[in-house]
Amino acid sequence: MLHLLREAISGLADLLLPQHCVGCDVAGTAWCSVCAGRLGGFRRVHRPLLGDAPPVFALGRYRGAARRAVLAYKESGQRALAGPLAGQLATALRSITAEESLEREWWLVPAPSRAVASRRRGGAHMARIARSAAVALSDSGFPAQVADCLLTGPGAADSAGLTPQQRLDNLSGRVLVRPRGLPPEGAQIALLDDVVTTGATVASAVSTLDGVRRPVTAVLALTATAG
């Protein structure tokens, strides 16, 4: 109930308070077209921890306007950003589908967050984006559904300040599956995340899904750090 109340308060604030772009502070929109251009495409991301993981793509670098947008949405409760950010993920996934000669139908799996972080943010932030992206994809002729099937189990610590290997060890055995939320076997799966840093979250999520015979076809993140 608490997260529903937070959602309602956030939505009311979006209606009553004048919007300004989180990237450049221009009035009238939460995310202007100029700043959206900072997430205007996608590029491959390579990390040692990813190993033989499926291809990983990011829409932009985790810096400047893109970084401010991710933090504003994720940590400051600016829910109005969910739609435009999800729309950009949907556009990129359509392009990836064409370039990689993939099927048009997708199951979107949001990367998991620690329970304490989700409570603080008023809900699972990537699940919200995944739902919006699924609508955008389906409306454009790419059937998509969301499988919110991953969770971070007890014992996982905040990863800030950890080395890449420590981040991986921190998540080892702690990215768990909600069996009822799994996509069907044989589904084409895209794992969605907000920021790829060391790749530990992606590697752990991919490994967990592999373990239940749900291999990931592609990983798509809003941003990635420089490496």
Name, in order, each residue with C-beta under 8 angstroms of 20's C-beta and a sequence gap of 6 or more.
26, 27, 28, 29, 30
Question: What pLDDT is stored for residue 182 in this prediction?
Answer: 98
With 90 as the cut, is the pLDDT of residue 176 above it? yes
Residues present in the chain in total: 227
- Average pLDDT value for residue range 76-96: 94
Write down the mean pLDDT value for the chain.
89
| Percentage of residues in the chain having pLDDT higher than 90 | 67
Question: What pLDDT is stored for residue 12 in this prediction?
Answer: 46
Helix (H, G, I), strand (E, B) or coil at 156: coil
With 90 as the cut, is the pLDDT of residue 71 above it? yes
**CATH class entry, domain 2-224:** alpha beta
Which H or E run contains 5?
A: helix 2-16
- pTM for this prediction: 0.88
Strands 216-224 and 56-61: parallel
Question: What pLDDT is stored for residue 156 in this prediction?
Answer: 84
Give the pair of three-digit tokens for residue 90.
Answer: 């949907």
Per residue in 128-162, pLDDT tens? Answer: 999 999 999 999 999 999 999 999 988 888 788 88
Lowest mean pLDDT across 10-14, 41-45, 107-111: 10-14
Domain ranges of the chain: 2-224
